[in-house]
């Protein structure tokens, strides 16, 4: 039987180049997965270098690197700061995040990420968590489900889809597909099914919230001169990262100092977003929506006051922005 590949890393060379790895530096790959990016980081580390690979999915542990310089942490990256403290690491020289799911999640059909096979509606990356896609459908109002489909799946007919899903109350991926299929145009069916599944997955795993927390903590754990490299696969994630790296907040609100200079803790390493080449997309079609952004921390944030303010700011803006976007589009899109 053909053995499936756990994952093929996207934008591998570009993200490793972006990290500008110091041989004796300390690095964190917060989305370890199949370990493709971690292996490449390790190749650039000397005997005093160190790498922590985090993943909230314990399946990733099977790919751990057998190397004294490597530590695997089974954790959500929203706890990055606490985990580094636990391992006695006071500052890091680079953080890499390759967001979303791995090929393994789609291939392990029993986990409910794929619309191509019938399985329980699960979609948890962390199997110790209790909130599943089934639970989401059972507990969310039709309106809240429609918001999830609209925001995270960018599905124009989100309200009709939500209504059909709530009515059918599916327990499996196959039942979910049957519930929404009559609303999809045959030519768009695969694309829209993948958007429905993506939206539910993002909500089940609290992906945007985890990213928000990771970004805030990067300011506290990176050493000055340290690099943050993030690969996103969704426009909302990319916008958060872009704003954060430009302005120091996910809203992108630019603050200037007394001299009119932009007040940001970051220096952009690449002004333009980095996307895969045609050749990479041909070799690895799942990389097609990948976007890489890299920034260097100029000044570390040390006071809790700043970080608390930043966190509150990030949380409020995203909620308002979400509401605003829904209100604006509601009439025309549903």
Ligand X SMILES: C[S@@+](CC[C@H](N)C(=O)[O-])C[C@H]1O[C@@H](n2cnc3c(N)ncnc32)[C@H](O)[C@@H]1O
**List 45, 57, 119, 238, residue binding ligand X (CB under 6 A):** 57
Binder of ligand X out of 34, 94, 170, 276 (CB under 6 A): 34
Residue 104, classed as helix, strand or coil, is helix
| 3-class DSSP state of 263 | coil
With CB under 6 A as the contact rule, the residue among 14, 56, 249, 284 that binds ligand X is 56
Q: Which of residues 181-210 bind ligand X (CB under 6 A)?
A: 210
- Residue from 18, 26, 28, 35 touching ligand X (CB under 6 A): that is 35
Nearer to ligand X, 170 or 276 (CB): 276
- The answer to whether 54 and 32 are in contact (CB under 8 A) is yes
Q: Report yes or no: 31 and 53 within 8 Å, Cβ to Cβ.
A: no
Instruction: Specify the stretch interacting with ligand X by CB under 6 A; choose among 17-25, 55-63, 297-305, 316-324.
Output: 55-63
CA distance 30 to 322: 26
* Min dist. Cβ of residue 75 to ligand X (A): 7
Work out whether 148 is an interface residue with ligand X (CB under 6 A). Answer: no
Q: Which of 37, 227, 242, 334 binds ligand X (CB under 6 A)?
A: 37
Q: How far is the CB of 12 from ligand X (least distance, A)?
A: 7
Is residue 77 part of the contact set for ligand X (CB under 6 A)?
yes
Interface with ligand X (CB under 6 A), residue from 31, 232, 243, 264: 31
Q: Out of 18, 36, 170, 276, point to the residue binding ligand X (CB under 6 A).
A: 36
Residue of the chain from 21, 41, 60, 294 that contacts ligand X (CB under 6 A): 60
**CA–CA gap between residue 259 and residue 273 (Å, rounded):** 29
β-strand pairing of 26-29 with 50-55: parallel
CB atoms within 10 A of CB 307: 16
Neighbours of 33 (CB within 10 A): 24
Contacts (CB under 6 A) with ligand X, residues 280-309: none
Q: Per DSSP, what are the bridge partners of residue 299?
A: none
Residue 313 exposed, middle or buried by CB count within 10 Å (0-12, 13-18, 19+): middle
CA 34 to chain centre: 15
Give the phi and the psi of residue 24 in degrees, each rounded to 5.
-105, 20
Interface of this chain with ligand X, residues 78 to 117, rule: CB under 6 A: 78, 98, 100-102
Q: Which residues lie closer than 8 Å to 112 by C-beta, 6 or more apart?
A: 119, 120, 121, 122, 123, 132, 133, 172, 173
Stretch that binds ligand X, among 71-79, 168-176, 266-274, 293-301 (CB under 6 A): 71-79
**Which residues would be at the binding site for ligand X (CB under 6 A)?**
7, 9, 31, 33-37, 54-57, 60, 76-78, 98, 100-102, 125, 210
């Amino acid at each position: 039987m053909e053995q499936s590949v756990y994952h093929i890393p996207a934008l591998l060379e570009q993200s490793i180049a972006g990290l500008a790895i110091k041989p004796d530096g300390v690095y964190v790959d917060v989305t370890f997965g199949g370990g493709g990016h971690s292996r490449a980081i390790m190749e650039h580390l000397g005997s005093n270098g160190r790498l922590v690979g985090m993943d909230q999915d314990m399946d990733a542990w099977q790919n751990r690197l057998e190397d004294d310089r490597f530590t695997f942490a089974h954790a959500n990256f929203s706890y990055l700061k606490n985990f580094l403290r636990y391992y006695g690491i006071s500052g890091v020289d680079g953080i890499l995040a390759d967001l979303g799911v791995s090929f393994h999640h789609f291939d392990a059909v029993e986990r409910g990420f794929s619309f191509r096979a019938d399985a329980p509606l699960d979609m948890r990356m962390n199997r110790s968590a209790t909130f599943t896609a089934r639970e989401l459908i059972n507990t969310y109002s039709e309106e809240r489900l429609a918001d999830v489909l609209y925001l995270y799946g960018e599905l124009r007919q989100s309200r009709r889809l939500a209504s059909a899903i709530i009515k059918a109350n599916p327990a499996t991926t196959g039942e979910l597909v049957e519930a929404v299929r009559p609303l999809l145009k045959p030519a768009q069916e695969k694309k829209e099914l993948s958007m429905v599944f993506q939206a539910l997955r993002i909500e089940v795993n609290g992906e945007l919230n985890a990213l928000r927390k990771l970004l805030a903590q990067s300011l506290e754990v990176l050493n000055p001169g340290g690099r943050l490299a993030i690969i996103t696969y969704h426009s909302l994630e990319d916008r958060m990262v872009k704003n954060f790296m430009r302005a120091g907040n996910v809203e992108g609100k630019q603050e200037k100092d007394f001299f009119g200079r932009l007040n940001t803790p970051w220096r952009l390493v690449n002004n333009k977003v980095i996307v895969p080449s045609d050749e990479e997309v041909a070799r690895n079609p799942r990389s097609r929506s990948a976007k890489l952004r890299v920034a260097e921390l100029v000044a570390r944030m040390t006071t809790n006051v700043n970080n608390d303010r930043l966190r509150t700011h990030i949380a409020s803006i995203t909620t308002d922005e979400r509401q605003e976007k829904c209100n604006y589009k509601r009439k025309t899109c549903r």
